[in-house]
Structure 1
């Protein structure tokens, strides 16, 4: 079903409904020539996994078709909690302000494990909650993306424990290799458990080992070589495929960078990446830094286009949003000035705790930027969930 923004477009907009679905067919390589056989190269860009499910291939094609003209808006942990509430069924700070759920839902694989230190332990109750939230958004037509703030697998502490070297010890030949593969197997079982009512698997944009160009995570640039990081990435993709996971698109997501060379310094290869993304809390901080944000989008969009990939702003936001017109004057301006990002995701809305400053990245009702956020979502480029076409139309 095409939502209101697409169904109400005037004829001068070029019959976007028809052109959108034609674009999906062309981008997915499913034209009159049919599916390429195993010995032929794909006729158009496609997911790296040749066994990707039909819905996963459709999502890849849909995002590529939409990106030149539209950017989906996303929010981390949107259904789980918000400013001043936790676990209220159907509640969302984005929906409360803008009238619709976000188009993209960000989650974390770590939420299927028990909290606390020690080796990872699968927690069925936590996994069930996360699965329910994921299926809720997917059934309405939303997009699911998942990061993984994996605890240091050697120290069994947290993702920010950089005092204990870990990457070399989880690669083949390392003393923690087998245990690490077992953790990946648990994640694989969860990905395979994400089934819609019709039995089809929910496509997930998986964003592992993100912000690897920084030094705050144990897999960061200061704690392993580029070759070791590439081996970690490739091992992750290979193990999940070996475990029968074929409903993932893989997103490479750096921290901020200055040049294409900086961005690609730890790039593991076109054969193991579907999406080129970046996380940026710096470039959107003010009008003075906006040109840097725009240049980063331009670089990623260009690189993605040349490789047949999807470009995205995989994580961003302004903590506590103190600027009443930040949405239209900074973030919206950057996305409009440099089109091509398939989605933008802002971080979570956590509640103030103890002496911690307020930590939220989407407005809630009454927050000073709420009215401007509504204006931002009315930009024809920005799509919320109720404005999405069917991103998962089955390929024929």
Structure 2
């Protein structure tokens, strides 16, 4: 009897050991499959980041090896003469880019300005309920989502362009700190609500952008680099540690550099940034724009490579895109070998404020030609590149 019990116990232990080894091997194999000799495990801001975010980071790396993803702000939210309206009979989303090149952008930009005030739509009148659907649709189809935040001024109740200094008052211990915490909580709740298959989708978050300029309350002459860095770090820690948001990659993106600008002046530290970026627009000065592209993207590339970070061209465009050959002759030659993961063009809002050609617009054929270059990657292109899950 004793011998029987002993043999049974040994058998149970052996079975559990085999099961344990199997689980361990499966776990190690599944984790190892994401990383390769070419793509080493990155040090991300969030140690508890979701698996879809890990895959997104690798996908962006793979994209940068092939070319760069074409992205646009509010690409499916509205365009010239139309706005998104949910229609069960409509299987394809509307997009000015798709109308021209028969493909969607690979990256879809959105802005959550207004959510901090508890509004039901953002500063550009896009309902957050629609935005959530469009984000999920973009992800479901194999695209990626980027989010900026033109948040209001928490001290005055004004908008982003109300340049009344505010950062000292919203940092921990400040008079408006609790107000700001509530704002971040609303952002956190939204990010956690953008779900596909009951899991939050990965989102590239680009807060407090263009901080080296003075047009927003969080930048330039309206703050100090020290306070800006504190604000960035406290915001990340609130989202990640206090509110449990684990579906974000964080992007640092100054504006075009002035001759005496230091790209890293406002940099919150490697532990608080996943991706480096920069915003450069063409204000009808092609020579100046090209020089900025060459100079600034080189700096971003050098710093990113030193820090082992991905980098991107986080905003660009020429309003009303009417410079002949702008996409193929001005932009393309100067970003072709830059190593950026994506380039994001600004929105198409009205016939006086748009940054991508629409049907029968002057540069329609130039965009079509641009789309056929091997490095310009639209949605169908990155669907072929993405990591197999």
TM-score range, shorter chain: 0.7 to 0.9
Q: What do the CA deviations read for 1:301-322 (whole angstroms, capped 9, x no partner)?
A: 1211111111100001000011
What's the counterpart of residue 165 of structure 1? 165
**Relative to structure 1, is the Cα distance of residues 88 and 367 closer, same or farther in structure 2, using a 3 angstrom cutoff?**
farther
Q: Which moved more, 1:175-184 or 1:85-94?
A: 85-94
- Name the structure with the higher helix share: 2
Q: Secondary structure at the match of 1:205?
A: strand
Note if contact 2:71-2:345 (Cα within 8 Å) is conserved in structure 1. Answer: yes
CA distance in 2: counterparts of 1:221 and 1:228, whole angstroms = 11
What's the counterpart of residue 351 of structure 1? 350
Q: What do the CA deviations read for 1:138-164 (whole angstroms, capped 9, x no partner)?
A: 1111110000000111111110001x2
Q: Secondary structure at the match of 2:110?
A: strand
Note if contact 1:56-1:392 (Cα within 8 Å) is conserved in structure 2. Answer: no
Out of 98, 102, 107, which is 2:105 matched to? 102
Note if contact 1:100-1:386 (Cα within 8 Å) is conserved in structure 2. Answer: yes
What's the counterpart of residue 21 of structure 1? none
Alpha-carbon shift at residue 86 of structure 1 (Å): 1.6
Rg larger in structure: 2
RMSD of aligned residue pairs (Cα, Å) = 2.4
Mapped pair 1:79 → 2:76:
yes
Q: Secondary structure at the match of 1:289?
A: helix
What's the counterpart of residue 366 of structure 2? 372
What's the counterpart of residue 309 of structure 2? 309
What's the counterpart of residue 47 of structure 1? 44
Q: Secondary structure at the match of 1:349?
A: coil
Task: Give the 4+ runs in structure 1 shifted more than 3 A.
Answer: 25-31, 258-261, 282-285, 389-395
Q: Which runs of 5+ in 2 are unaligned?
A: 1-30, 87-92
What's the counterpart of residue 207 of structure 2? 208
CA distance in 2: counterparts of 1:271 and 1:391, whole angstroms = 28
What's the counterpart of residue 320 of structure 1? 320
Alpha-carbon shift at residue 26 of structure 1 (Å): 7.8
After TM superposition, the score normalised by the length of structure 1 is 0.83
Alpha-carbon shift at residue 387 of structure 1 (Å): 1.1
Q: Which runs of 5+ in 1 are unaligned?
A: 1-24, 32-41, 114-119, 353-357
Q: Which moved more, 1:56-65 or 1:177-186?
A: 56-65
Note if contact 2:229-2:266 (Cα within 8 Å) is conserved in structure 1. Answer: yes
CA distance in 2: counterparts of 1:27 and 1:322, whole angstroms = 46
After TM superposition, the score normalised by the length of structure 2 is 0.84
**Relative to structure 1, is the Cα distance of residues 157 and 88 closer, same or farther in structure 2, using a 3 angstrom cutoff?**
same
Q: How many residues align?
A: 348
**Relative to structure 1, is the Cα distance of residues 46 and 29 closer, same or farther in structure 2, using a 3 angstrom cutoff?**
farther
What's the counterpart of residue 330 of structure 2? 330
Note if contact 1:94-1:101 (Cα within 8 Å) is conserved in structure 2. Answer: yes
What's the counterpart of residue 4 of structure 1? none
CA distance in 1: counterparts of 2:384 and 2:114, whole angstroms = 28
Q: Secondary structure at the match of 1:96?
A: helix
